[in-house]
Amino acid sequence: MLALDLKGKRALVTGANSGIGEATALMLADAGADVVVNYLERAETAESVSAAIRAKGSRSFAVHADISDATQVSSMMARMAQEWGGIDILVNNAGIDGHSALGWEADVGAWRKVINVNLFGAFLCSREALRRMVAQRAGVIVNLSSVHEMITWGGFSAYTASKAAVSMLTKTLAQEAAPHGVRVIALAPGAVKTPINRNVWGDAAGLADLKRKIPMGRLAEPEEIARMVAVLASDFASYATGTTLFVDGGMTDFADFAHGG
């Protein structure tokens, strides 16, 4: 039986100091990869994740960078290249959902911030990674999208727009990079038990409402998403590119229609 083996691979996970990002960084290390832990806030947590990766026998360091800032992204990638000689796996995980507001009441600055992080952040990191991956004719980029690239979400038009855009960014970059031996793919989680949505799963009524929208009747654990990221980044998925894999407990399967229309 084949084993998931990422030994010798150099990975960068954005937003890797909590939630899905942290779980992914640790999962990639379990498979043998060296992992850079990117973070924006809570440096001590990022250093703790990096230390846990080193304890597994992989190389790791934490690096502060705002992924929506092209200069900071360039510096982060340059440091990785200087210390490790390049990059093989990029996981664009960092993202924000913003504040709830109807479209006609939304603050333009707040709306733009979500786009800057979720879309421009993924683009800027991918641009720097692809410059290196194309040159070495190998590499994988996994973009964390969301079920909301497909499902609307009232009050969060910036988030849904950003995730729909990440889907098309993934497809386009995949088309461009495929002839150079590089894969670009997206993974769309559904409801995951992470700090970003604690206000929902931490409330009994909110949790019950959310579970009704999921055919499997539960939220995912971050590790369940991380395992799929590791698979997509590995040779198990060597012929997969330019698409989105939904890992959502069936949320996009329209649970309300389970008993007919």
39 is catalytic: no
- Contact call for residues 12 and 91 (beta carbons, < 8 A): yes
- Up-side HSE of residue 14: CA atoms within 13 Å toward CB? 28
Rounded-to-integer distance, Cα 151 and Cα 160, Å: 8
Q: What angle do CA 186, 191, 194 make, to 5 degrees?
A: 95
Selected catalytic residue, list 98, 159, 227, 245 = 159
- Contact call for residues 20 and 189 (beta carbons, < 8 A): yes
Rounded-to-integer distance, Cα 258 and Cα 71, Å: 49
Q: Which residues are catalytic?
A: 159
